[in-house]
Structures are given as C-alpha cells and as structure tokens.
Structure 1
Amino acid sequence: MKHRSVTRPVGEPAPAALVRMRVVATGLLVAMVILFLVSRALVDIDPARGTAWSFVRAFAEAAMVGGLADWFAITALFRHPLGIPIPHTAIVPRNKDRIGDTLAQFLRDNFLIPSVVGRRMRRLDVAGAAGRWLADPKGGSGRVRRGGSRLVAEMLQAFDPERLGGMVKAAVGARIRANEASPILGQLLKAAIAENRHAPLLDGAIRWAARTLGQNEHLIRAMVHQRAGSILRWTGLDETVSDKLIDGLDKLLNEMAVDPTHPLRLKAEEGLDRLAWDLQYDPEVRARIEALKAELVDNPAVQRWLDGLWEQARAGLLRVARDPEAAMAGKLGDMLRQLGETLQTDRRLGVTINRFVRRTVVGIAADYGDGIVQLVSETVRSWDARTITRRLENAVGRDLQYIRVNGTLVGGLVGLIIHAVDLALA
C-alpha cells in the first residue's frame, strides 16, 4: 500500500538544552584528545615522571575511545556518521515505517485491550480530577497544563482530519443505529403527558392552526366555490357557506385554545397517550420508526451535518487546547467552575461519571482499537523521514548527550583500572 508523503518543516531549531549538552560532550572529547597528546609528549620528555603521566595518558586514551564509541552509536541512530553510508546506521530514518508499526502495536497490546483499559480505568478518579481542575484551573503545574494543551493540539493537527472525522462519524452513526429510538420517544412522551408538559405543545399546535386558517381563507373559499353547484354560485350562497365554514372553524379553534376540557382537545390528548403506548410496545410502529431513523442516518444531508458537527468540535477543541485560559473566562468559566465543585462534592455523581467514562473507553477500545492502531501507524508512515528524525532527536537528544559524557568519563576510569592492573602484573 502506498502512503501519501506529508512534507513537514525540517528546519526546527534544536532546543537550547540539547545544544548546550552537545557542546559539553564534544568539548569534553576534544579535551581528552588534547590531554592524551600532552600526556604522551610528557611521558617521552620526562621519563622520570613517566609512570605518573602514563596514568593520565591511559585515562585520556580510554576516554577518547569511550567518547568516540558513544558518539558513533548516538549519531548512527539518526544519520550516517560523517555522511558515510556505513551498514546499520541512520537507524531511525531507515526504519521509520517499522517504528510506526511497532509503536502502534505497542499501543494496541498495552493500552487498547478492553481488559487492560478496564483495569487501569478502575484506578482512575476521572470525575474527581476533572472537578479539581475545573474548580481551580490555575492551580497545579502551569507547565504541565501548557504541555498537555500543546500535546492535544499537535495530536489533533497530526491525525488525518478526514480519516479521524470518518471514525467519529462512524462511531456516532453506529451508536445511533444501536439504540432503538421508538421506546425512548414513547417514554419521553409518556413522561411529558404525566407532568402536563404536553399542554404547551397542544396550545402551539392550536395557535398554528388558527394562524394557518386566517392566512388561507382564500383557498377555502376557492375550494367551496369549485365544489358548489351552479345554482349556489349563481345565488351567491357559496360565499355564505364559505363564511360559515371559516367562522365555525375559527370558533372551534378558539374554544379549544381556552377550554382545557374541550372534547376535541381531550381526543388529541388521548391520541398522544395512545401514540406513547404504541411507540413503546407496538411492533409495527417501532419498526416504522426504526426504518425512518435508518433513512435519516443514511441521508446525505445528515451525513454532511455530522461532518460539519465534527469539524466544529475539532475546531473548538483546537481553540481550547491552544488557549486553555480563554475557555475558563466569562460565564462559561463560571459554569465550568460550578460543575467542578459539584463533581468534587457529589459522590454519587462522581461514581456515575467514572463508571460511564470507564465503560465508554472500554467500548471504544473494543470497537475501534484496531482502527486507532492503523491510524497511528499510517500517520507515522506519512511523516517525512527527516522530520521525524529531527523531532525524535530534539526530544531525547539531551539525554543522549549525557550518555556521551558518561561514556567519556567511564571509559577513562576503565582505562585507569586496566593500566593499574597492567603495571601491577608487570
């Protein structure tokens, strides 16, 4: 399978800490070279003190070997040493795709197995942590907060928006299809009727019917005129019939609006109650609702709406990740802080949220673990080799330069020990 190459900026400057440690490690190696040359010359010039200087020369010589060996090993991770294509060098750029596959498989085996996810999630108090952060977002480590925000923003930008959006849309669509809508609608309607919350709906329907009647009187008059006989039209009685019909309908609607016990209104309420029962228990009604739901989900307009919904959510997440302080400002910030306090004080709510989060994450791992792994693998494959090399080197290069320093010093100490043993056995 061919993967589209994504060109990323390769001119990212190395972190200052990495530059400093590289200068220190290289400077120490140069110092060992100079010390070796000086000590070697002094051993030849002053034979009387040759034994003392021989220890210095042994230390410097072994330190040079250790420093050069570690320099070669570290450089070989990211590029060919001195530009020479020595076998088994430039390991990271040559094995970029394999590294991506290994990273994805590690993620799959250690983080996306449902049993592992469930076990780890049981130890996490997500509600409590979210509550503490929402109640006091400026508390704790600002460095961690900024780093986490930057990481989230980079992840959202790094993943293919179309593929990730497709996964989100598929997940939402699968969740909608998995939940039967008819019983839920029936329960909602039944609860609304029990608490008389359906009354505003009936009032609105009656007012709408009255307005529609007033705006379409001419249609009623035209219909009566067309259906009336020639005698009625000749005598003008068709107009009288139209007036009586319109007045009667208007009076009926006004009576229904002001009288909650009007027979037709009671009939409408009875029909709503029957509809609530049918939505919950009638197989034919439930099947029709499910068919309608499937048509709606598969409708191209709904699919475009889901795409737009994901893009808006992604843009909102990016804004919050880039500027987390702005998300906590104004009325939204007050609401979020109140939510945070509630999450900390309401134990039952916290348990419910933790259970919901755990089940959701486990479900995502079970349903979309393979897709996430493939997404990570293909994303790493699409990156430019020089870019991923530079970023990895910038991330861990400072510690690798410490290895060079340690290799130089440890090599020197080993050289001293070997030289001392050699003299003792001579």
Structure 2
Amino acid sequence: MISRQISLTASIISQSSLCKTVVVILEHRFASTPDGAIWTATTNAYYFWQRYLEVFDQVRVVARVQPVDSVPANWQRVDGDRVSFAAVPYYIGPMQYLLRSRQVKRVVQEAVEPTDAVILRVGSQIASCIEPKLRAVHHPYAVEVVADPYDVFAPGSVRHPLRSFFRWFFPQRLRHQCAGACAAAYVTKQALQARYPCSHYSVGISDVDISEDFLVLTPRRFDQEARTLNLIFVGTLAQLYKAPNILINAVASCVQAGIDLKLTMVGDGKHRKELEAQALALGLGDRVCFRGQLSAGKTVTAALDQADLFVLPSYQEGLPRAMVEAMARALPCIGSTVGGIPELLPPEDMVLPGDVGALANKIREVVTNPERMAQMSARNLEKAKEYRDEVLREQRIEFYLYVREKTEAWINQRL
C-alpha cells in the first residue's frame, strides 16, 4: 500500500513539476562505441538508472567516457530511453586530470541546467567541478556517499607520493560537500554518516539491491571430508585498496601450513601482472586463478556458486556490493573492519586491514570448521535479504522526492 502511494505521488509530481531531469555525477568510467552507445563492463548498467526514473522523467549521467571501436559481448548497455550522457573527457589519475581539467570542468558545468535536480555520487573529483558553482547560486544538490577517501588513501592501499596529502585533502572536501548538501544518502547505516555528516535530510540506503531471483533458497552445507576449498575475491586490481596482495600472502601462509586451498581472483587492473608474479613467486601458480573482469550477471553468479568462501580484506569500503552478492548466494565471508563491512559481518568474521597473519589465521579457523562455515552461510543469507530491492525501493523514492521538492522550491523562488 505504501509503495503504491509513493509511486502515485511521484507520478503526480512528474506531471506537474518544473524539475523533470536529475543530473547524476559519478566517478565510474564508461565506454562509447562509434554508434553512440554507452557501455559498462561491470556496474551502473541501464537497469541501475531506473530507480531515478521512478521520480524523475529524465536522467542525465555525467561521467568519464572513453571512445572505443567495440566492446566485448558481455558488456552491458547503459544509455537508453530517458537515460542520456554528458561525456566527460576520459582520464585516469591525478596527472591526466590536471592535463584535461579545463575541459572536464567545462563539460560538467554545462551539463547542469537551472531546472535540473543534481545528485553527486561522492567522493568524486568530477563532482568537485560543479559543487562550487552550485553553492555560488544556492542551487540545491544532494549527495549519495558511496566511498570513504580517508580509507582509500590508507597506508598500503594506494602507491602515490602524495598519498598522505590526499588522505588529508579529500576527506576534508567530502565533509564540506556533505555539509552543504540539502540531502544525503549513505550506503552505510552508520559508518560514513559519522565521518561525513549532513545537517539536513539524511538516510542510510545501500545502493546494492538484490533481486529475489538472485537469492538462493537455502544455506550451504559443508562436509567433513578433506578436499580442496575454493576461495574467491571480487574487486578491482587497478589499485590495491581491496588488498589482493594481502590475500595472496595469507593464502600462501595457509598452504604452507598444510591447508588445501585454491583462490579465484575476479577483477582486473594495472596491478594484475605484479599480483600474478607474486602468486608465482610464492609457489601458488596452480592455486591462484586470475579470471579478469567478469560482467555482472550469470558469469559472476557462476563464479560465486563454485566457491566455498568469499574473502575481501579491503583497506576501504563503502558497503561492498560484491560481498552482499556473495552473501545472497549463501557464501561464508571474511572481511576487514572498515567502512560498512561491520554492518554486514559479525566481529568474529573480520580482521584488521593489512594484517597478513591475522587474515591467514582467520581463513584457517573458518575452512577447518565445516559447522562454522554452515552457520556463516545461514547467517549471511538472512542478512542479504535486508538488501532486497523491495526493501530499499521505498526509501530511495522518498529520498528522490525530497531532492525534487527542494529543487522545485528553489526554482519557484527564482521565478
């Protein structure tokens, strides 16, 4: 009943509103083919933007787009009916951004019209190109806080000579952006709110939504027979803030202690070759499989279903989508005590980030105890149900309605 009322309210506002478009600015990198189509290898495909279209008539996405001749067959289309793009010149890293900063700022600022609602998915360098201009004219904007730069630049997570400066600067900027927002949606229930408060309307809503058909029906069972246990890691290898190097070292420690393990690494990036070399140097050549980047959907689901234990020892997280998806497939999970992970896992299933010995000990504790793994499976499956789309949808709609209402009020003041 509540859901129908919210949808009806959104429909009525949509028909009469001066604010029909929401501009969403984010850091995700996309690709464009010569026919003008926009593609993604992982998240933020077309279905993701449908959540905004429940309240707004149009979505204009502002993000980096790299022109390519073609994309792999398993990539997903992003643009479509009522979802368009303002393509930001493509760059990777601070130096490339500095070389293109004037072009980037021009595209981002021209993408926002006076009658648009604006949502910044932060932390984001691109969002910082428009936020000062919005403040200058008192144009309201909302933030969706999806990552924590303080942890992104933690020791060991990023190799850069200015890492310490970035760890001070970017959290300061994010606090400033959240303080000036008319509304904030955090992907965590408490963690990000504590560091980056918004004094106005705020809510904790994960941007992970699990469909009913993705949830398995029953927890897993684990037998007592000795066999090779399969671990899985899902995360970017473009930086080391998911700590794949720490995980490989921990697996090596377990194998040396006589634990029969294999590890599947799902993800890609510039550190892949050095991680492959690390695995070989540790004698894990036949025990660590690098799958590369897998598209969301059946391919990732199959990889999760073939695993026995999901491990994500990150230095930083918002609320990790990959972990929630693993939990929805009833996988036991080990994580680190950062970001929103403590909102997903109990203390006994976590370790401090960067501690190889603690992670190796935790893996050994878990994989040598089938009963514990079964209990973890059952608990994780129940926890994942909290992230079903039907549970989160109404909260999102209320948030978008509030953003639209505040934008409408500002527009009316200017008329």
How would you bin the TM-score normalised by the shorter chain? Answer: under 0.3
Determine which structure has the larger helix proportion and give its number: 1
> Larger relative contact order (C-alpha < 8 A, sep ≥ 6)?
1
Rg (Cα) greater in structure:
1
Determine which structure has the larger strand proportion and give its number: 2
TM-score by length of 1: 0.23
